Amino acid sequence: MSLITPNQSLITSSVKDLVVVLTGGAQGVGRNVVEQLYSAGAKVIFGDVDDNLARQVISSLTSTSSSSSSDQDPGVHFVHCDTSSYNDQLSLFQTAYSRYQRIDVVIANAAVSLPRDPFSAANLTNEAILTAPTMAEVDINLKGVLYTARLGYYYLRKNPNPEHRGDLVLVSSIAGFKECEGLVSYTASKHGVIGVMRGLALQAAKEGVKINTICPWMTKTRMVRGIEKGWFDLGLPSNEPADVAQAILICATANRSPTPEQGHQGAVLPFSGKILWVGGGKSYEIEDRLQSLEPEWLGHENSEILKKGQEYLHSAETSWDNK
């Protein structure tokens, strides 16, 4: 585990004029990301299903802005977007690309957590079992992230620098790698987000696209209202939405440092295929250590055999297509 301390100078200097597409930007963590990006001079195009809140974000930023954005381009734009709809997401990306002719950073942030899990007692009655449960968490949190990742990967690959075409940041959760009783569908969906990163990171890195994942612990958003009193009574640590937004910006800028010395303290470059756990307002990279300890938790012999299998599967000559 490595503590990553953000270099604010790097964030400020490298974010300016970047074109960023983000899902779920009208409130909570997403809104904080939009605000931090915009204040640093990025061009932000975000999607959300809440039109009223999204317009409030636009209004609050543009009415008080001292940035260099012109009347012709306010620098922040909203597109109505249900992330479970591929066409909605396609429209979001097309709008961004049509306006700026490039996309530099993509952030898959939109997510939901429903109060009654399909495995709760209320949903396992004789009557309830006759009706298919909602799959909204899977549709938005996982299928939506797959859509964002696919579209983001497509557009980022258009950028000219083969070493670094752009950054794709996926927001998972502590539920992405820890058991969470009472949140079965949510936990499954957030585990899946890490799966998207692990499945795509190696392929994407070969084409200069860096993909990383954020796993926040308890964060003060409306998702946690039901548990926050007991949490704080225990004196447990928590994140502000701005803390998670900072972790996202670490991932979006880590590979943009002119030199390693000017980067984020603790970040090992290239910054790709990483997982940032955010707890108590701080960001820790955990994937590198997990992978390095594989011989311990899988067994040395098993790890060596697995390595050979992975090398074969990752070979350019190997294809899953059996036709």
β-partners of residue 43 are: 19
Which pLDDT score, from 0 to 100, does residue 68 have? 47
> What is the CATH architecture of 2-292?
3-Layer(aba) Sandwich (3.40)
Instruction: Please check whether residue 275 is in contact with residue 60, taking contact to mean a CB–CB distance below 8 angstroms.
Output: no
Q: Which residues are catalytic?
A: 172, 186, 190
**pLDDT tens-digit map of 217-272:** 999 887 787 788 888 899 999 999 999 999 999 999 999 998 888 999 999 999 99
pTM for this entry: 0.95
Cis peptide leading into residue 160 (ω within 30°): no
* Domain boundary assignment for the chain: 2-292
Instruction: Write out pLDDT tens, residues 58-106.
Output: 999 998 765 545 557 899 999 999 999 999 999 999 999 999 999 999 9
**Model pLDDT, residue 66:** 57
Q: What is the mean pLDDT of the chain?
A: 95
Cβ-in-10-Å burial (0-12, 13-18, 19+) of 160 comes to exposed
**Count helices and strands in the chain by DSSP H and E runs:** 12, 9
29-51 residue pLDDT tens:
999 999 999 999 999 999 999 99
pLDDT band at 319 (very low <50, low <70, confident <90, very high): confident
The share of the chain scoring above pLDDT 70, in percent, equals 98
